Structure 1
Amino acid sequence: MNDQLTGRTALITGGSKGLGLAMATAFAKAGAAVAIVARGIEALSSAEASIKAAAPTARVITIAADVGTVEGCAHAAEAAGAVDILINNAGTSQRGPFLEQTDAFWQSDLDLKLFAAIRLCRAVLPGMRERRWGRIINVLNIGAKAPLATSAPTSVSRAAGMALTKALANEFAPDNVLVNALLVGIIESDQWVRRHANEKRNITWEEWKAEQGKAVPMGRLGRAEEFAATALFLCSEGGGYITGTALNVDGGKSPVV
């Protein structure tokens, strides 16, 4: 374990699986207390055990909440206590033909991906400003910069998250609160495991990964640990002069820098 985040507390939404769990583990190994938020209690318990296996002395706070609601955001912020690092990671890939999407479909996507970030930022920023230290990362995807056909509403809510990132970065930079976005390409996670299963094709997970990797200039899917290492750098003192960025973590897949 290194100590670059010792004394810091990180609140990570969608923290029980995939990228969220990888970030929570990396931050715990770096000395931070981690508060992980998810809706499922069993998944949270499993994640806590996984984090403590990697960082036995780490303090892990598990918070069962739906951050797509006002109440869930309030509960998560209160249960986490004084937050130094906020990772807005909760989200799913809701997309499809535009003319088939209802207002309710749009609203659920915006509640989970945009308003959750707004509400949690509003909850933690006063404390960060008072302590004159804070880090916020909004986890988006490369569709925020280069949306494809039938990619709404997720690409639209993610683009709004990128604008939110820049606005907050400019406003809170004088308080030493740094706000950045990480844009996900194709990275191994539960979401992609589910997509492989839902396709119901007679190919193995490894074969499916190799097939998907052909669309990436680097020729492979990313690993959650690689994504977590990027987030850790932005939250460390080494990333202390980086704010207002939207960084692609995608193996070169995005057509937009």
Structure 2
Amino acid sequence: MDNNVVEQITNTWPQDTSIEAFRRTWILEGEPLWERVFAVHHERMQIKNGKTALRNLQKIFTCTFRLANSQGFHSMSLRDLSRETQISMGGLYAYIGSKSDLASAIEAVVRQTIDDVMSDLEQYQLDPYQRLKAVISADLYMNHIMHPWYYFCFIEAKGLDKAQREAAIEMELKFDQRLEEICQQGIKSGVFRYDGDTALLASSTTAMLQQWYLKRWKFQHLKVGITDYAAFVFQHVLTSLNYQSQVSDPLSLRSQA
């Protein structure tokens, strides 16, 4: 393969699993994020003007996260949100019909983002090692970039209505199943050697990933950055799976670097 082509491939997500490569492919902050929110939520809104909607959606969700963190979503009222955003109650109702509607939109944005990123990975037909690394890295990067969204879905889950709680649970179980499938694929192909409970391994890996947005203060105290933590989680899972590199292809070696 031409060296320039190899260089281009290895510098592109998901062959390059750095957060810089991920950010180049998936822009999950700033205006693109609010465009994503609008795309997910616009059918429930009375406002159809895109530019106006993006500005106010940013106010509504940013203030929701701030109020939820300071007083809890359960005790927050739409009147509190109206004061915080400086959007009238009538204006607010043009975007959200209720607190339940607001919580549902937050969960839907997170779920849709995860589905988009993970579904996109499937088209690359990565081997189990590369796929596991990309899935672990992608999940960490998403919850790092969209921290308030993930934190809300986890912390406020108990206070949501039944349908929203079930959706949040289903979202986590689906990710567990994806990890378990990769482990089983690697075991079947001989890349991994593991005779334990793959469902439990997948679940414990998800819990490790969740620590990044639940315990950010702890990692800041330890002076651990996201690149280091992604490498730590990946290596921990590889060790559990008794992985030993048998790769000889230079391109594959570079993608594992």
Q: TM-score range by the shorter chain?
A: 0.3 to 0.5
**Greater share of strand:** 1
TM-score (norm 1): 0.39
TM-score, scaled to structure 2: 0.39
Structure ID, larger Rg: 2
Structure with higher RCO (Cα < 8 A, 6+ apart)? 2
